[in-house]
Amino acid sequence: MSLTVKRSVAIYAVVTEQLKEELRAELQEGIDTTQRRIDQMDFQSRRFLADLQAADLTQAMAARRQIEAEKRRHEALKQELAQQLAGVDTLEMGSEFARGTVEGTVELKVGDDLMKQVAGAVIVMKDGVIVEIREA
């Protein structure tokens, strides 16, 4: 008898110039998307707050505080992405960079070391091609 269970599989990428370019593009897209959201929020909130202020000043003040808090959250995200973008150039060529995780399955049988089997695996890629699979 056996049982199939899910486990996490870590994805690592070997740092190459191609990976750095991909990371730069991903992070820049994140920065641009976040800035568009901030701009859209500014545009929509001006009209909304003007209308609300005419009807209920107290409610308008509360709404403004909420909008400003959301805007600060987006600005912080944009700043974090910019810091990550600056850090891309410091990645050492040939080192491994964590790219995320995926779920995989493993078959368990009586007598297996449970912790070893479900501890997870690691997939190492170089420029999108799997170069190594490690059992944790």
Rg of the Cα atoms in the chain: 23
Summarize the confidence of residues 29-33 as an average pLDDT.
97
What is the model's pLDDT at position 50? 82
- Domain shared by 64 and 86, yes or no: yes
11 and 24 fall within a common domain: no
Distance CA 12, CA 117 (A): 20
For residue 85, the enclosing domain spans: 17-92
CA-CA-CA-CA torsion sign (107, 108, 111, 114) = positive
Angle of helix 17-55 relative to helix 57-88, nearest 10 degrees, comes to: 170
pLDDT of residue 119: 84
What letter does residue 119 receive in the DSSP assignment? Answer: S
Please say whether the beta carbons of 48 and 63 come within 8 A.
yes
**DSSP designation for 112:** -
Indicate if the pLDDT at residue 18 is higher than 80: yes
Are 8 and 44 contained in the same domain? no
Work out how many domains the chain is built from and give that number: 2
Assess whether 77 and 34 both reside in one domain. Answer: yes
Same domain membership, residue 87 and residue 30: yes
For residues 16-42, average pLDDT: 96
- pLDDT score for 102: 93
Say if residue 136's pLDDT is above 80: no
Question: For the chain, what is the mean pLDDT?
Answer: 92
Tokens of 31: 């920065």
**What proportion of the chain, given as a percentage, has pLDDT over 90?**
67
Per-residue pLDDT tens digits for 43-61: 988 888 887 777 877 888 8
Assess whether 39 and 64 both reside in one domain. yes
**5 and 23, same domain (yes or no):** no
Give the pLDDT score at 117: 84
